[in-house]
Amino acid sequence: MATQTPVCDFGWPAADFSLPGTDGKTHTLADVRGETGTLIMFICNHCPYVQAVLDRIKRDARDLRALGVGVAAISSNDADAYPADSFEEMKKLDLPFPYLHDESQEVARAYGAACTPDFFGFNADLELQYRGRLDASTKQAGPADLRRDLFEAMTQVVETGEGPAEQIPSMGCSIKWKAAS
């Protein structure tokens, strides 16, 4: 069942983290922070919503990095219940940005992550300015000429420090939370 992200909580401060990456390094928020903004996204390997737009996520990440935006992705799903989301499987994705493993799910909880993909776009001061969709794609990638909502919003954040007042929520698979022990 599809889940949507909540409305952007403008000005919410980015939560710090220290997580292992598929590149063999441990990354913190300071490590991935960009000069003009930072994009933290929650994704996973198995979600059809992520799979449908992974090439567009890579494209937008490259274009945003060229604008000075730091980019990182975090997978927080319960890998015991969803083995395709294990750290070993994460290493098989070829991403042009750090892909981090949140095994404890503490970072997903700190961010209030709801689904995959879930995009958190911060300004240079690490204040939340965008929590919307990548584009109008769903479980299938939409036409190639779709409006690039995430990219355009983050370009505005780079230029003005503020995100658009109107944002369309991201939609995807719910975060796969571990059972309470």
**What pLDDT score does 181 carry?**
62
Give first-to-last CA distance, the chain, whole Å: 25
| Domains of the chain in sequence order | 2-174 (3.40.30.10)
Return the closest-CA partner of residue 115 out of 53, 23, 181, 56.
53
The CA R_g of the chain, rounded to the nearest whole Å, is 15
**What pLDDT score does 1 carry?**
63
User: pLDDT tens, position by position, for the chain (181 residues)?
Assistant: 688 888 899 999 999 999 999 999 999 999 999 999 999 999 999 999 999 999 999 999 999 999 999 999 999 999 999 999 999 999 999 899 999 999 999 999 999 999 999 999 999 999 999 999 999 999 999 999 999 999 999 999 999 999 999 999 999 999 999 987 6
Q: What is the rounded distance in angstroms from the CA atom of residue 138 to the CA atom of residue 130?
A: 19
The 8 Å CB, 24+ separation contacts for 136-139 are 136/168, 137/49, 137/52, 137/53, 137/56, 138/2, 138/49, 138/52, 138/171, 139/48, 139/49, 139/52
**What pLDDT score does 108 carry?**
98
Secondary structure (3-state) at 142 = coil
Contact predicate 177/78, CB 8 Å: yes
Give Cα 151 to chain centroid, integer Å. 13
